[in-house]
Structure 1
């Protein structure tokens, strides 16, 4: 699979769309509050875990060059990519 280069302006809207359209309804459960959800923004694959590093390792093993975005579930979501921090909701 060819790696897609995403710029900052493309990453967050893509992640928000994936989260809202495919992921939120599956993971928005009481037992997931406070856990991390890691999203591969190219494939839409995701993993929920209490430890974001474990979830990221899982997705990285499936797709070694994945662009991963981290979100904490159950709260107003803040997305981080490297040192970039943006809020989905205000």
Structure 2
């Protein structure tokens, strides 16, 4: 499946599947809690850093057409505004 034609929801779903099916067990510990993880929804490759920016740039450098999904490690949402949650995707 070519990632270029995925909806935002499909990118989120695929990235969350990668996270739940293996990445979570590798990253949810100690100093990683609260950091941002950026996941390539096509390959499952990921990067972790404080804001997610460095990881997104690294993954985009490897694959400029990557569909990326960002989330906060150990939390259900990445950012909240006035009670509403927002999860960023980087294209």
Task: Tell me if TM exceeds 0.5.
Answer: yes
1:63 is the counterpart of 2:63: yes
1:38-68 deviation per Cα after TM superposition (whole angstroms, max 9, x unaligned)? 0000111000111311110111111111101
- RMSD of equivalent CA atoms: 1.7
1:52 matched residue in structure 2: 52
1:35 matched residue in structure 2: 35
TM-score normalized with structure 2 length: 0.77
1:25 match: secondary structure: helix
After the TM superposition, list the runs of 4 or more consecutive aligned residues in structure 1 that deviate by more than 3 angstroms. none
Answer whether contact 2:3 2:67 (CA < 8 A) is retained: no
Structure 1 alignment gaps of length 5 or more: 83-90
**In 2: Cα distance, 1:81 partner to 1:37 partner:** 11
How many residues get paired? Answer: 81
Higher mean C-alpha displacement, 70-79 vs 40-49: 70-79
**In 2: Cα distance, 1:9 partner to 1:50 partner:** 24
**In 2: Cα distance, 1:69 partner to 1:9 partner:** 10
